[in-house]
Amino acid sequence: MNVATGRLLPPRSRRRTPAPASTLPWYGLATFTFFFVTQRFPELFTEVGIYLALLGLVLRPEGLIFPPPLRWALAFLLWASITALFAIVPDAAWPALLERLKALVIFFVVVNTLRTPQQLRVCILIILFAFLIYPVRGTLQGYVSGNTVFGRAIWNKMYSNPNELAGITLLMLGLALAVASVKAQNRRVRLATTAFVPVLLLMILLTQSRGAFLGLLVGFGPPLLTRVRRQPSGAAAVLMALVVVAMLVPAASWDRLKSMTQLGAAPSSTAVQGPPSATRGQPSFYVQVAEASTQQRIEILKTGWHIFLNNPILGVGIGCYNDANARLAPWLGLRDAHNTYLSLAAETGLPGLLLWLGLLGSVLAQVKRRCAPLQVADCPIQILWIKRGIIGYFAAGFFATFSGLTMAYLFLGVLLAAANVLGSDAPGPGRRRYNTAPAGTLRHGRGLKTSVNCTNATGPDSAAGLARPHRVRFPA
């Protein structure tokens, strides 16, 4: 209700009040999140967690929501099921479709379970803690002991691919910055997440993923430069952290990243065999591997484009790109497209690609629509960095295939839940913009300030609340 006029606000202009949260979905989601991120224990634990969360939501269905991003995800799943019916390799299509269905369920559970700022904050801390104690620790220990792929850091299961490990670490970097950049955050938590940021940067560079390096620049470069311009005093700390990380990164990682500028150059060696060598005047072993990888990726991209042109509507079927690549280019074999968007276009056709881009765009649009109040509210999480992490992740998708990773749907759900929990609907051009100042302060015109106290058991915006005595103070 508008305190000045006594009129009820339009429904779309009221701040959304979250439905009462049930503990069963929350405990189920927390269990699933921990065991899913660690990838250290049997899948039984993740299945139990997600089933508990679903059971809790089914037992209390009155608060369920199905926002536009979920509708886009459902539409993409339905289209993917159609492509699976005409897939060139049905045995590969149906398991891939089942994984997309699981990802949609996780997306739905996250959006409908995280309903309070406390739940959102704890969920983010669980993700960061689980990633630290197993994937980060295991990756760094493995790198020191020589457990690498051509010098690139890896771990196990879904972290066994250096590009996917780097992409997931980009997402984790966004979460860590979202917590570390909040001044009102608990001091110990803030210091811990701040110290975690350079460790994540080091991991990204140790994977030698060119796509992740591009995502790092695209996702985090612009907001970081903006903040340094506004607060030049913080530039020294940022520069010091970057120098320390750069000193810890081996030369082989920088040599591989340099190959991004040589996409059209001929490889210096036609064959890459034997152990690493350091012959003076010749490229190192890892540089030769990077150059050969670059040339192969160019050929794979050309093949993927031809696959898409041959199947522009239905594609070759969800999850069937590797087989299509081997059929069209036998000399390349069963190879991944190393490009999220080309892989989607080749597997599900142009409609599938557009539906999936609609899912991503819908999430970002929802965040943008509700981000204005977030910039002035005293939020426990800085949603900007989660958003930038996801932008960097999908920018890195030009060098890797990320659309099928369940982790992407988990983070899209966290971002959407953060916008729903912390934000409020921004008024459109035809509606009045209501003040987002701290509670108890309203502005009516220039220089006029009122201080209102009308909180009771039924809430500050209820009609019953206005019936109680309240104080109004006008300037002299």
Query: What are the tens digits of pLDDT across the range 403-425?
Result: 888 999 999 999 999 999 987 65
Of all residues in the chain, the percent with pLDDT exceeding 70 is 70
Q: Which two tokens stand for residue 469?
A: 């005595």
Q: What is the mean pLDDT of residues 5-32?
A: 66
Instruction: Determine the Cα–Cα distance for residues 43 and 221; give it in Å rounded to an integer.
Output: 37
**Could you report the per-residue pLDDT of 302-318, keeping only the tens digit for each?**
999 999 999 999 999 99
Assign 224 a pLDDT band (cuts: 50, 70, 90).
confident
- Whether 319 and 440 map to the same domain: the answer is no
Total count of domains within the chain: 2
Checking if the pLDDT of 467 tops 60, the result is no
Query: Residue 175 pLDDT > 90, yes or no?
Result: yes
Of residues 239 and 386, more confidently modeled? 386
Share the mean pLDDT of the chain. Answer: 80
3-state secondary structure of 152: strand
Q: Which domain holds residue 397?
A: 19-253+285-422
What is the pLDDT at residue 289? 65
Same domain, 80 and 196: yes
Residues 414 and 458 in one domain: no
Q: Which of 410, 345, 348 is nearest to 81 (CA)?
A: 348
Residues 176 and 316 occupy one common structural domain = yes
At residue 423, the pLDDT reads 76
Q: Are residues 210 and 300 in the same domain?
A: yes
- 3-state SS of the chain: helix, strand, coil percent to 5? 65, 0, 35
Is residue 30 a part of any domain in this protein? yes
Instruction: Please report the pLDDT score of residue 233 as a whole number.
Output: 65
Res. 321: pLDDT tops 50: yes
First to last CA, the chain: 26
The pLDDT of 271-298, averaged and rounded, is 60
454 and 418 inside one domain? no
- Locus of tokens 């850091």: 153
Using CA atoms, how far apart are residues 253 and 408, in angstroms rounded to an integer?
25
The answer as to whether 337 is a domain residue is yes
Cα separation, 83 vs 76, whole angstroms? 11
Same-domain check for residues 299 and 442: no
Residue 376 CB neighbours (<10 A): 11
Looking at the fold, whether 112 and 166 belong to one and the same domain comes out as yes
User: Rounded mean pLDDT of 363-380?
Assistant: 71
Q: Are residues 379 and 442 in the same domain?
A: no
> Is the pLDDT assigned to residue 295 strictly greater than 50?
yes
Residues 6 or more apart whose CB falls under 8 angstroms from that of 174 comprise: 219, 220, 385, 386, 387, 388, 389, 390, 392, 411
pLDDT band at 183 (very low <50, low <70, confident <90, very high): confident
